[in-house]
Amino acid sequence: MALWGWPAVRAFRLWGAGGGRRPIAFSAGVSGVFGNGSSSKKQKLSLGDVAELIRARACQRVVVMVGAGISTPSGIPDFRSPGSGCYSNLQQYDVPYPEAIFELPFFLYNPKPFLSLAKKLYPGNYRPNVTHYFLRLLHDKGQLLRLYTQNIDGLERASGIPASKLVEAHGSFASATCTVCRTAAPGEDFWADVLEDRVPCCPVCGGVTKPDIVFFGEPLPERFLLHVVDFPMADLLLILGTSLQVEPFASLSEAVRSSVPRLLMNRDVVGPLAWRPRSRDVIQLGDLVHSVERLVELLGWTEEMKDLVRQETGKLTGCDG
């Protein structure tokens, strides 16, 4: 894909200056995880080892990749699960085939099915869950380099992670653009129309306004180019709740250095971690919320997590907590 061939210097300009490594004093346990160079055989890591790397701040440039699986505990269905996924339940939207709802030609012909789906995804209808707040806590502690998300639900933003730390690979509802004259519009204007079951129209030319969600065949957002800088710098990669089926997002999982641990927390082993595993991979299968809670416990962050969830939930409900 053309995006992958763009010069790294452009991505660096987008990312900004800084990023030099700071000296880290490793504990004995962390030194054991990294190894002392005396053996060519690399130690197999565990979830506890990853927790020790984070807790001891041996990993300070954590890159995270997430998919729809982190939002299903918030009540948002994923796209591909048989029977329960969005693609299995789109008959109600009067589309010729499921993927048409995310195709620009069909949207221009009939935007109402997508707008009806968008109304159900309105950010106020759902709230972040423990996985989102774990990533927020990772940011608060200064260890999150970047969060790459395939999701368009905006729950990463709602959890308090700043936009500068996000790469919304498939776009977001935070802004919108006229499909005719390309005039930009704030997401609030788009939602004002959608919530009243109106087709959003451009105030300049009258064309249909589309949220800046990436439809099939459209280029990814320019911020996606940050992967050129972020992944080679990463000292830990977390992969949460994704099938790793959609390119070029899926291939990012192989863009970190081979010495960098990759932690997959998912229901199944997927993508390159299934068919080309590395010696530093850690696989934690099962319910994602339970896995995240286990990692938080190993980190010793349980009370901090409870406080953060209480505080942010109070903000979202309009209470002081």
Whole-number CA gyration radius for the chain:
21
Nearest to 239 by CA among 212, 198, 268, 203: 268
Peptide bond into 77 cis (omega under 30): no
pTM greater than the 0.75 cutoff: yes
Whether 310 and 137 have beta carbons less than 8 Å apart is answered as no
Give the H/E segment covering residue 184: strand 184-186
CB atoms within 10 A of CB 276: 10
The region, left, alpha or beta by phi > 0 then psi within -120 to 50, assigned to residue 210 is: beta
Q: Tens-of-pLDDT digits for all 321 residues of the chain? A: 333 333 333 333 344 433 444 433 444 455 455 554 444 345 689 999 999 999 999 999 999 999 999 999 999 876 655 554 555 556 666 788 888 999 999 999 999 999 998 998 887 889 999 999 999 999 999 999 999 999 999 999 999 999 999 999 999 999 999 999 999 999 999 999 999 999 999 999 999 999 999 999 899 999 999 999 999 999 999 999 999 998 899 999 999 999 999 999 999 999 999 999 999 999 999 999 999 999 999 999 999 999 999 998 877 766 444
**Among 261, 233, 252, 253, residue whose Cα is nearest residue 12:** 233
Instruction: Collapse the DSSP code of 222 into the 3-class scheme (helix H, G, I; strand E, B; otherwise coil) and give the result.
Output: helix
Active site residues: 170
Handedness of CA 100, 102, 104, 110 (dihedral sign): positive
Maximum pairwise Cα distance, the chain: 69
Residue 122 is predicted with a pLDDT of 86
Cβ of 215: how many Cβ atoms within 10 Å? 18
pLDDT at 5: 37
Backbone CA torsion sign across 88, 90, 91, 96: negative
> CA 210, CA 212: separation in Å to the nearest integer?
6
Helix (H, G, I), strand (E, B) or coil at 22: coil
The pair of three-digit structure tokens given for residue 180, joined into one six-digit string:
């005719």
Q: State the number of CA atoms in the 13 A half-sphere of 37 facing the CB.
A: 0
Q: What is the pLDDT of residue 81?
A: 53
> What CA–CA distance (Å, rounded) separates 48 from 46?
5
Nearest residue to 135 (alpha-carbon basis) of 148, 125, 126, 122: 148
Residue 206 in 3-state DSSP?
Answer: coil
